[in-house]
Chain A
Amino acid sequence: MNLATALKAQETPRIVAAAPAGPPAISLRGVEKVYRTDRIETVALQSLNLEVGSGEFLSIMGPSGCGKSTLLNVMGLLDRPSNGEVSLGGRVVSSYRDKDLAALRNKEIGFVFQSFHLINDLTVVDNVELPLLYRTMSGRERRRLALEALDRVSLSSRVHHFPTQLSGGQQQRVAVARAIVGKPRLLLADEPTGNLDSAMGDEIIGILTELNERDGATVVMVTHDERQAAKTQRIVRLFDGRQVH
């Protein structure tokens, strides 16, 4: 299966836009994140400086509650840092409004989640089309791109199934197809193998690796699994919201 995927990848056009040389894919400068409730202040991230080069495959590791997911959310522009600066492809996005951030996420970033987050009421292909709904494009074009992305994860035969009819590994492949359908430069994966057994997990890592290697996509992955992290180019370790080396 892996081999088949790899072979196919050579024939199909690059599905992820190649990153131009130049500014890093994403860079964080002095980023802090503090959660405040009525009584308690929780520091999730502390004076974090991190640069992810274009075309890099990076793992973020650390114990539970160290701020890995918060970091990924900040990088994915889903969460605003309390302090510091986030730049995406050289643009400082700290001052962007919700609408602009949404547009950036839509074009530049693809997410893969631990628990898939597929919409069970929609078929596989409708799920994959979702990011394209927020772009102006014809329905036919959307369908074409979605089928192309599904082909990329070898799920062409499951197009009209519903997510609940698929295995966990297949669901996560649908999620990957959804993440790449809009040809983003940056893929963010939050424990993508966390809910899968090791064989299925390997398959997903294989796809991510291939996207990184063949298509030049920048991939940032949060994981608990040293074995999976070892397959990536660089590992960043977090402890209590700080980067440790």
Chain B
Amino acid sequence: MLRSTLLIAWKVLTRRKFFAGVSLFGIAFTLGVLTVAAALFDQVVGARPPEVNAHRTIGVYSVMLGGEHMQNNGPGGYALFDRFTRGIPNVELMSIHSMPYSVFSYQGGSRRKLYFKKTDGEFWNLLRFDFLEGGPYTEKDVAEGRFLAVINEATRERYFAGGPAVGKTLEADGQTFTVAGVVPNLSLLRFAVGADVWVPHTTSRSTRYRLESELIGGYTAFYLARSKADIPGIQAEFVSRMKTVPLPSKQYDRIVAVPETVLQNVSRNLFGNRDAVASSKPILIALALFTVAFMVLPTLNLVNLTVSRTLERSSEIGVRRAFGASRGALVWQFLVENVFLTFLGAAFAFVFAGITLAVLNRADLLPYMQLELNARVMAVGLFLALFFGVFSGAYPAYRLSRLDPVTALRGGAH
């Protein structure tokens, strides 16, 4: 049955090359764009080294000081995390590190932008970087305020001509660091972990960031739960501790911060109640709606092409009905045919997406963007192809299956 359906689908497709070309073009382009979007999405939130424990890691990406007339929103302060969130039960590891920030470094009379990230020593335990050379600085190095740095491969290429860099010095932001280790490039889209240069937070010019009043101030904290099931408990404990934080002025009446996943954070800021732990569902629903909206025009195009060929197939439909195909069986047949078509289109879409991703990676829109068509992205692409096939096949299948068999056999479709 499936064999015969696919055979017919192939024959119908190849009978009119122009139609095949136009249909596949539309499908491949639509799925191609969505696959590229999926790759981008995967780059931001997909788990991959060094975030090997992503499923049980939560982070505080933004902190809000709220008051009746004032709101102050931004990444949290080091002191907030350091003083109030240590020792939460079931937290295996905790790390406080800054958001990446750019500094300029001058070399041979030219200016270069480097993204820095200030971290503690635990950062290197919570995240597992594959060191190309050397190793991380330790908690002890951090405590002693040693001017050590971990750099990425691109920085090693720039400053040390790709040669061994450990033990050599790097001057940036008016400070001099000794290179402790070298790690592979990491896209800055992974803003929570990526940078060019990672240095101990104690190399900051002043110790002001450790003052208790610094509740907002460019830092993120990661908490590695012992297991995924411990996350809600950790969040509850975190929220209750926030209630004990002294507020900096009378303008504010609360401090809102929750350790969460990146998606939960976006979801909370866009749709949710900002004061509570949000589920990541709203943002996923929004993305799904956006995807469907994007498919509307290609779907109409495909539906029109398919429906315009109804007459071509009326004899087949009449015969199938006469020999015992129920309407349901025909709906099924045409849906399978359409899904077959969209899967064929998906093959082209992957080629299209592969080329586009390579171009985007080279276009240097963001440093070290490594968009890739990995298994996860391909799986999303195939799922989208299935969905698109059913979505765009539903109406033609319904319409073809409702053809009156007598009319169909007479060769009329109207």
Classify the secondary structure of A's interface with B. helix
Q: Is the CB of B326 within 8 A of A102?
A: yes
Q: How far is A98 from B401 in the complex, measured between Cα atoms in Å?
A: 11
Q: How far is A99 from B323 in the complex, measured between Cα atoms in Å?
A: 12
Q: How far is A178 from B324 in the complex, measured between Cα atoms in Å?
A: 12
Q: Is the CB of B7 within 8 A of A99?
A: no
Q: How far is A191 from B7 in the complex, measured between Cα atoms in Å?
A: 31
Residues of chain B lying within 8 A (CB to CB) of residue A122: 4, 7-8, 11
Residues of chain A lying within 8 A (CB to CB) of residue B8: 119, 121-122
Residues of chain A lying within 8 A (CB to CB) of residue B320: 130
Interface residues on A, range: 20 to 34
Residues of chain B lying within 8 A (CB to CB) of residue A29: none
Q: Is the CB of B328 within 8 A of A99?
A: yes
Task: Tell me if B329 counts as interface (CB < 8 A to partner A).
Answer: yes
Q: Which of A101-159 contact B (CB under 8 A)?
A: 102-103, 105-107, 110-111, 113, 117-119, 121-122, 126, 129-131, 133-135, 139
Q: Is the CB of A134 within 8 A of B328?
A: no
Task: Tell me if B409 counts as interface (CB < 8 A to partner A).
Answer: yes
Q: Is the CB of A105 within 8 A of B4?
A: no
Q: Is the CB of B319 within 8 A of A78?
A: no
Task: Tell me if B22 counts as interface (CB < 8 A to partner A).
Answer: no
Q: How far is A119 from B325 in the complex, measured between Cα atoms in Å?
A: 15
Return the chain B residue nearest A110 by Cβ: B323
Q: How far is the CB of B370 from chain A (nearest CB, A)?
A: 45
Q: Is the CB of B323 within 8 A of A130?
A: yes
Q: How far is A98 from B326 in the complex, measured between Cα atoms in Å?
A: 7
Task: Tell me if A195 counts as interface (CB < 8 A to partner B).
Answer: no
Task: Tell me if B315 counts as interface (CB < 8 A to partner A).
Answer: yes
Q: Which of B1-40 contact A (CB under 8 A)?
A: 1, 3-4, 7-8, 11-12, 15
Mark B392-409 against chain A: 1 for CB-CB distance below 8 A, else 0.
Answer: 000000000000011001
Residues of chain B lying within 8 A (CB to CB) of residue A73: 406
Contacts A126-B7, A133-B4 given; does A105 touch B322 at CB 8 Å:
yes
Q: How far is the CB of A151 from chain B (nearest CB, A)?
A: 20
Q: How far is A119 from B316 in the complex, measured between Cα atoms in Å?
A: 6
Q: How far is A73 from B315 in the complex, measured between Cα atoms in Å?
A: 15
Q: Is the CB of A99 within 8 A of B324?
A: no
Q: How far is A178 from B327 in the complex, measured between Cα atoms in Å?
A: 20
Return the chain B residue nearest A72 by Cβ: B406
Q: Is the CB of A78 within 8 A of B406?
A: yes
Residues of chain A lying within 8 A (CB to CB) of residue B325: 102, 106, 133-134
Q: Is the CB of A76 within 8 A of B12?
A: no
Residues of chain A lying within 8 A (CB to CB) of residue B326: 98-99, 102-103, 134
Q: How far is the CB of A212 from chain B (nearest CB, A)?
A: 20
Q: How far is the CB of A97 from chain B (nearest CB, A)?
A: 9
Q: Is the CB of B406 within 8 A of A117?
A: no
Residues of chain A lying within 8 A (CB to CB) of residue B409: 78, 113, 117
Task: Tell me if B97 counts as interface (CB < 8 A to partner A).
Answer: no
Q: Is the CB of B15 within 8 A of A102?
A: no
Mark A7-29 against chain B: 1 for CB-CB distance below 8 A, else 0.
Answer: 00000000000000000000000
Across the A-B interface, the 8 shortest Cβ-Cβ residue pairs: A106-B324, A121-B11, A102-B326, A131-B323, A134-B324, A99-B326, A111-B322, A117-B319
8 A–B contacts from the bound complex (CB under 8 Å): A78-B405, A99-B327, A105-B322, A121-B11, A126-B4, A131-B323, A134-B325, A178-B323
Given contacts A117-B409, A126-B4, 17 further A-B contacts (CB under 8 A): A76-B322, A78-B322, A78-B409, A98-B326, A98-B327, A99-B326, A105-B322, A106-B325, A107-B324, A110-B323, A117-B315, A121-B8, A122-B8, A130-B323, A131-B323, A134-B329, A139-B3
